[in-house]
């Protein structure tokens, strides 16, 4: 199975400051159709996961534009341009290029 | 608006069985692959099972193969997970998740399964 490795696992941030989470896959995530099936999810405390970004850089409906995704091949990044209080939670990366779909360990974002 | 509501969780003894349900609304259920994803207490997310548009194509994570069965009723807009021979390590919140554009675009609120004597 493809292993997804996130860093850091804990990210204390200051309100209004930027934040960045990295995710590395053990194999290239480029599928035979040329697309890269890599997503980011947010899980706020006590809530279900919510997809933020799909196929590397596409924001889901209703996701604030302070969230952005980038990367290619095996290395990907989620950036929050200015952290707000509602961004506290755990962020997961996930790949669907290779079966079975697999998730990273999660990165816990908290306010300093 | 997409709405997924899981039910059927509870406390069950090791070796026991449980059937989870997920009621879908707000979209044409028969047009989407569906999944179960679980989260053990304090842990991360783990994909458990998927079912394509018909019941002919299903897949499972290795740890549940032969013990869990995913199914769907397109007429009722419902997804199911029949779990048998349950183990302590199956204890988790089980989420129903839709495969929209590129995996897991919508999630339910989850249902807790606790396997303990």
- Cα–Cα distances in angstroms (integers) from residue A61 to residues A65, A88, A97, B1, B66, in the given order: 10, 19, 22, 12, 37
Give the Cα separation of A49 and A110 in Å (integer).
17
pLDDT score at A111: 96
pLDDT value, residue B101: 79
Size (chain B), residues: 117
User: Which of A39, A55, A105 lies closest to B104 in CB terms?
Assistant: A39
Measured from the Cβ of residue B74, the count of other Cβ atoms closer than 10 Å reads: 16
Query: Which three-class secondary structure state does DSSP give residue B89?
Result: helix
CB atoms B45 and A54 under 8 Å: no
Q: What is the pLDDT of residue A108?
A: 98
**Cβ contact (<8 Å) for A99 and B102?**
no
- pLDDT for res A60: 96
Q: Is A96 on the interface with B (CB under 8 A)?
A: yes
Distance from CA of B4 to the nearest CA of A (A): 11
pLDDT at residue B83 in the model: 98
pLDDT tens digits, chain B, 117 residues: what are they? 999 999 999 999 999 999 999 999 999 999 999 999 999 999 999 999 999 987 679 999 999 999 999 999 999 999 999 999 999 999 999 999 999 878 999 999 999 999 999
* CA angle A78–A79–A85, rounded 5-degree value: 110
Q: What residues does A111 pair with on adjacent strands?
A: A13
B108 touches chain A (CB under 8 A): yes
| H or E segment to which residue A80 belongs | strand A75-80
Q: What does the pLDDT read at residue B30?
A: 93
Contacts of B106 in chain A (CB under 8 A): 51
Peptide bond into A102 cis (omega under 30): no
What's the confidence (pLDDT) of residue B19? 98
Chain B: nearest CA to A55, how far in angstroms?
7
Strand partners, A93: A40
The reply to whether B27 touches chain A by the CB within 8 Å rule is no
Secondary structure (3-state) at A15: coil
Sort out which chain A residues have CB atoms less than 8 A from B48's CB and list them.
Answer: none
User: Which residues partner with A78 through β-bridges?
Assistant: A21, A69
pLDDT of B1 reads 93
- Per-residue model confidence as pLDDT tens for chain A (112 residues): 999 999 999 999 999 999 999 999 999 999 999 999 999 999 999 999 999 999 999 999 999 999 999 999 999 999 999 999 999 999 999 999 999 999 999 999 999 9
Tell me, what DSSP letter sits at residue A60?
A: P
Nearest by CB: A55 against B44, B102, B106: B102
Of B46, B102, B110, the CB nearest to A54: B102
Q: How far is CA A71 from CA A19, A34, A50, A83, A91, in A?
A: 16, 14, 20, 21, 16
């Amino acid at each position: 199975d493809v292993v997804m490795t996130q860093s850091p696992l804990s990210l204390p941030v200051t309100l209004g400051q930027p934040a960045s989470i990295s995710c590395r896959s053990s194999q290239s995530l480029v599928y035979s159709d040329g697309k890269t099936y890599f997503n980011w999810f947010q899980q706020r405390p006590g809530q279900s996961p919510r997809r933020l970004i799909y196929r590397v850089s596409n924001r889901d409906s209703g996701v604030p534009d302070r969230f952005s995704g980038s990367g290619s091949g095996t290395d990907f990044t989620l950036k929050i341009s200015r952290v707000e209080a509602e961004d506290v939670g755990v962020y997961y990366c996930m790949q669907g290029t290779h079966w079975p779909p697999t998730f990273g360990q999660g990165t816990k974002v908290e306010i300093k | 608006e997409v709405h997924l509501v899981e039910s059927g969780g509870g406390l069950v003894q090791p070796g026991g069985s449980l059937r989870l349900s997920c009621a879908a609304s707000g979209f044409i259920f028969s047009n989407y692959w569906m999944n179960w994803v679980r989260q053990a207490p304090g842990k991360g997310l783990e994909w458990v099972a998927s079912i394509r548009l018909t019941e002919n194509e299903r897949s499972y994570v290795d740890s549940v193969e032969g013990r869990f069965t995913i199914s769907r009723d397109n007429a009722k807009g419902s997804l199911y997970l029949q779990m048998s021979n349950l183990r302590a390590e199956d204890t988790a919140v089980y989420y129903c998740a839709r495969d929209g554009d590129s995996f897991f675009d919508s999630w339910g609120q989850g249902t807790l399964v606790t396997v303990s004597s």
